[in-house]
């Protein structure tokens, strides 16, 4: 498919990150990205921009266990990605998983020869979720998102 502009939308997303001086792990909302594209590349359709935002964010609602190519393996990063996807799915299904449920669902997904300890998953979980009741977990309610390192 031919691009409207000289660069692909993915390349334009990289330009956005550079022009806005966004650092790895920095959080911001979708409107900042949309406004930048509307100002600099108005021919791009909102759906195209949103699709690229979703594919490049950690906590997009539509994201289910997708793996990026050319990224060095980082155990905590992978755990975080899988935890967010799992907890989002549980939230959509109105379920509140226990730590045991979470570990049993996440461990098989971490196949790269590195098996994390139970405590490693718990530490990452504490960063992104809140403990509710006796032993239930739910994602922090936060409208922010974080772009992957492109």
* Percentage with pLDDT > 90 across the chain: 9
**Quick one: 142 exposed, middle or buried, by C-beta within 10 A (0-12, 13-18, 19+)?**
exposed
Calculate mean pLDDT across residues 121-149: 75
Q: Are residues 79 and 49 in the same domain?
A: no
Q: Are residues 50 and 79 in the same domain?
A: no
Domain count, the chain: 2
Residue 135 belongs to some domain of the structure: yes
Q: State CA 65 to chain mean position distance.
A: 9
Residue 116 belongs to some domain of the structure: yes
pLDDT in the model for residue 41: 92
pLDDT in the model for residue 60: 56
Q: How far apart are the first and last CA of the chain?
A: 22
Buried (b) or exposed (e) across 10-42, using 16+ Cβ within 10 A? eebbeebbeeeebeeeeeeebeebeebbeeebe
pLDDT: which is higher, 26 or 89: 89
Q: Are residues 48 and 98 in the same domain?
A: no
Supply the range of the domain harboring residue 137: 75-143
CA distances from 118 to 111, 121, 132 (A): 15, 6, 19
pLDDT in the model for residue 51: 82
pLDDT in the model for residue 98: 93
Closest CA to 135 of 93, 91, 98: 98
pLDDT in the model for residue 112: 61
What's 136's domain CATH number?
A: 1.10.10
Categorize the per-residue pLDDT at 40 as very low, low, confident or very high, splitting at 50, 70 and 90.
very high
Residue-level length of the chain: 150
Calculate mean pLDDT across residues 100-108: 88
Per-residue pLDDT tens digits for 61-95: 555 554 555 555 577 888 888 898 899 888 888 88
pLDDT in the model for residue 91: 86
Q: Which residues, in sequence order, are bridge partners of residue 137?
A: 131
Q: Are residues 81 and 50 in the same domain?
A: no
Residue 66 belongs to some domain of the structure: no
- Is the pLDDT at 143 greater than 50? The verdict is no
């Amino acid at each position: 498919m031919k691009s409207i502009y000289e660069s692909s939308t993915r390349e334009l997303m990289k330009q956005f990150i550079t022009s806005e001086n966004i650092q790895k792990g920095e959080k911001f909302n979708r409107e900042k990205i949309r406004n930048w594209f509307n100002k600099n590349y108005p021919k791009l359709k909102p759906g195209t921009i949103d699709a690229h935002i979703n594919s490049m964010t950690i906590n997009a609602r539509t994201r289910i266990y997708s793996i990026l190519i050319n990224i060095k393996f980082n155990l905590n990063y992978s755990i975080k990605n899988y935890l967010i996807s799992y907890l989002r799915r549980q939230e959509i299904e109105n379920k509140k998983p226990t730590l045991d449920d979470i570990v049993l669902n996440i461990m098989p997904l971490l196949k790269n020869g590195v098996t994390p300890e139970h405590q490693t998953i718990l530490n990452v979980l504490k960063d992104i979720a809140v403990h509710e009741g006796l032993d239930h977990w739910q994602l922090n309610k936060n409208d922010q998102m974080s772009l992957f390192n492109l």
